[in-house]
Structure 1
């Protein structure tokens, strides 16, 4: 037996299997990501609905690891509460068993047929590209599984290999830990179970050892989500920890009854691969039914286990690097961060535009807030650029582009308010002041600018095109109003000081620029970019 050839075939088969899972998952995500987001945010009325949503989510993503990281991302963005995440996490573990059930069908001989059909669909029409990727991906999955199974055949004659596996099999916990470690490394429980298929069908390990592998594969899926939550919000960390505890409880409950479990599996029928797939499904269904009634309490326990600690306020709250691998989550996080930026401008900058004319401390506070917004602008910009480097579908590309435009308008608006503080500082240096009439006219234009800003942000948050159109229609009115006020200033109420006149004109121009950014935001929402 040539160990090099066996190793190459085994690792090559595993590599093709993992690549196939990735391609199929990407195709499924692209064909349904937008609908999936809407579905996940709506179907969470209670834990049972949440569990159903989790089943659908994982079935579409073809990976419980990917589903869990996605759920943690939604929790981090504040779109799903910690309590609702509990049920979704349990459901996602059941949903991913569909993948293993599909792999258990003895169709490895037809793997290349799937590849051919997938390639034809992929290149036939761009509309079918995502569906072609799904079929092509599963073709690779089955082809890789066939290679791994073939690689196991020569090992049947190796006494050393058989004895090594038998020795490990005598220590069930060791088998569980090895499978968990392998799953954590490759980040795919289906691949671990597929290896168990190959080993069991070749007679190298028993069905009982394969069941221990199923336990370990389920445990290993928690690692990626735990890592993804490290720099996320406290609720996201609690969700990831709860997911790990759920899996650990399942293993602890099943371990003492493994012998009985193994004896019962053949009663359901099917070959050894189907029995292993059934073990995987039963493990997760029982675990879900066992723990689902206690989800709300689990959420409360997680809060006690990971209490809030007083930490310095973070400039960036919602976005994290790990979400980039799931563009739909990353885009939601970017949108939430930008809504927060809009709130900062609305509550900590724009309300002070009149007050800062006479108060230097307020101007300093506005400048400090602009520095925070500038930092957020850079964070959101780089986050969106990383997302756009991914293989996005048309809807995701359009959303990312719109958010980049919105981010730019927010940053320019904050800069404009900061520039107004410098303009007003000219009055202090010259010992001048705006007259009551001039302050009243500035306040008059300010009220209209604020209305258009509030409408623009409402349109952005609610995706309301009618409100966006209202902002655009207000543009001629505000331009006309600014011209009339400037005319009144020069010909009816102009100050004798040229410095005051320049400051008055600059403030008017600055407010027009702020309004123009509100119009830009509305244009972006309507796709007029």
Structure 2
């Protein structure tokens, strides 16, 4: 290998690296700038297949990566927040959304690349406001992306003089399967169909030996383009390893969708190329072929979506046959919703963490019921249930907090999202404390049963009322967290004040019973400790309500589990 060839390869790889870096940085900037709008996009996912396609396209347009959208969808499917037909419709939309990058490249924005870099740099590095910084990051990255494209374009020009490369391109034109294989391998290696399509657009814009025609031509570019679409499915396949059965089925549907489209279109390449030429701008081939490739990419995915949208039900049956089985039940201490693959998409990761916290809170609510049964019913089986569940709650709380901590380290986290994560960590601690107080009550119940303590009917009625009050507060605080209902959160705070008042009143009434000798003095410690632990449960519910009032609530997609 001579020095010129080596320099060409290094420069080409450098340009590609700058393109990928710029695209990823732009994705991060767009995600921060979009902020809570991403939650609204997610809300569309639960409606119907057509809106699912729209949501998938919008998410991918913001994230600038169909792979990122697909991985996020796999996380939701694996968590049970999304059904298989919904997931497939979103992936159909993601394939359309990813064509935006090729369209941007097709416009001759590269001439202004350094202008975007300069403006973006000023906004990104010198201004303080988070929203402006995000916009600056997006512009700066947008410019870098085109700087990378310009580098690749300049590097590829000498290829026209290489007879070996010209002969290779002729083989791709004559043997479409070779082009499909080349495109697939390129995308698998680079892990970005947008990057490989950008390379393809630059390559096709390079003039051949005659100095007029493209070195590869549209018919030669189409098979590589189809291969790029197949190669992008590898990310979803890798992400589905170790995921739920439905997540594996979703990844399989992605592969089937893109491979079927390629299999259909590969037989009609000459006619498809003519159609694309008709709908694209006219002019010298090397001047318009980048736009033709972008249009071919978009039309390919739109046609495929139109074809598969009415057949989603059939596709579900096919992937169910291909990937049989069902998910095994998980232990209470094992997370259901947490997915580390989506950490770089904080709006999605936070939603999954909130769902896990809701599940954790449900366990704590069940512990309140069991501790009530244990204490008032002298039920040692219920005592064991509480103690066993306490271990599970502690373990699950640790895993959820660890996940939240991982979200905190995401580069795409906004200030508001960081505040939400911090609030959820406090919520996790309060839920775990509820479990601790229930454990205390279960221990008291065991002592009460062992020593055969008999409380008066009035004392039992008072404790029964306290348990019901705390249980209602726990249910309301969970609902407030899930729905973001500030009115319900305010109601929980009022209930907490009432519970504080009840504790003071019950202590006085117990002292009155002691004076009247209707209760035994040895029961006093257990009685006061039980009502105090119940009151502390109310304090935890009050803290959760405060978190909701501080806007630690996430409404999008809650109905997806239905």
The TM-score range, normalised by the shorter chain, is: over 0.9
Q: How far apart, CA to CA, are the structure 2 residues paired with 1:407 and 1:133?
A: 33
**CA deviation profile, 1:283-306 (whole Å, cap 9, x unmatched):** 111111111111233234433443
Instruction: Find the counterpart in structure 1 of residue 386 from structure 2.
Output: 366
Q: Is 2:139 aligned against 1:135?
A: yes
Instruction: Find the counterpart in structure 1 of residue 226 from structure 2.
Output: 215
Ranges in structure 2 where 5+ consecutive residues have no aligned partner: 209-214, 283-287, 553-562
Instruction: Find the counterpart in structure 1 of residue 367 from structure 2.
Output: 349
**CA deviation profile, 1:460-517 (whole Å, cap 9, x unmatched):** 1110111111111222321121111112212314676554221111111110111100
Instruction: Find the counterpart in structure 1 of residue 416 from structure 2.
Output: 395
User: Within 5 Å, which residues of 2 pair with 1:167-186?
Assistant: 167=171, 171-186=175-190
Contact 2:371–2:439 (8 Å) recurs in 1:
no
Q: Is 2:473 aligned against 1:456?
A: no
Instruction: Find the counterpart in structure 1 of residue 281 from structure 2.
Output: 269
SS in 1 for 2:343: helix
**CA deviation profile, 1:305-324 (whole Å, cap 9, x unmatched):** 43443624242111111011
Q: How far apart, CA to CA, are the structure 2 residues paired with 1:513 and 1:304?
A: 52
Q: How far apart, CA to CA, are the structure 2 residues paired with 1:514 and 1:163?
A: 76
Equivalent residue for 1:34, pick from 36, 45, 55: 36
Per the TM alignment, residue 13 of structure 1 is displaced from its structure 2 partner at its CA by: 0.4
SS in 1 for 2:216: coil
Instruction: Find the counterpart in structure 1 of residue 76 from structure 2.
Output: 74
Q: How far apart, CA to CA, are the structure 2 residues paired with 1:311 and 1:124?
A: 51
Q: How far apart, CA to CA, are the structure 2 residues paired with 1:89 and 1:411?
A: 37
Contact 2:371–2:382 (8 Å) recurs in 1:
no
Ranges in structure 1 where 5+ consecutive residues have no aligned partner: none
Quickly say closer, same or farther: Cα 1:167–1:58, change in 2 above 3 A.
same
Q: How far apart, CA to CA, are the structure 1 residues paired with 2:429 and 2:343?
A: 20
Q: Is 2:527 aligned against 1:510?
A: no
Instruction: Find the counterpart in structure 1 of residue 511 from structure 2.
Output: 490
Contact 1:427–1:499 (8 Å) recurs in 2:
no
Instruction: Find the counterpart in structure 1 of residue 301 from structure 2.
Output: 284
Q: Is 2:536 aligned against 1:521?
A: no
Instruction: Find the counterpart in structure 1 of residue 7 from structure 2.
Output: 5
The TM-score, its normalising length taken from structure 2, stands at 0.88
Per the TM alignment, residue 227 of structure 1 is displaced from its structure 2 partner at its CA by: 2.2
Instruction: Find the counterpart in structure 2 of residue 406 from structure 1.
Output: 427
The alignment of Structure 1 onto Structure 2 pairs a total of residues equal to: 528
Q: Is 2:312 aligned against 1:295?
A: yes
SS in 1 for 2:508: helix
Quickly say closer, same or farther: Cα 1:481–1:45, change in 2 above 3 A.
closer
SS in 2 for 1:86: helix
Contact 1:468–1:525 (8 Å) recurs in 2:
yes
Quickly say closer, same or farther: Cα 1:424–1:45, change in 2 above 3 A.
closer
Per the TM alignment, residue 162 of structure 1 is displaced from its structure 2 partner at its CA by: 3.9
Q: Is 2:347 aligned against 1:324?
A: no
Per the TM alignment, residue 255 of structure 1 is displaced from its structure 2 partner at its CA by: 1.0
SS in 1 for 2:36: helix
Range 325-334 or range 482-491, more displaced: 482-491
Quickly say closer, same or farther: Cα 1:460–1:356, change in 2 above 3 A.
same
Range 173-182 or range 367-376, more displaced: 173-182
Q: How far apart, CA to CA, are the structure 1 residues paired with 2:12 and 2:234?
A: 24
Contact 1:495–1:501 (8 Å) recurs in 2:
no
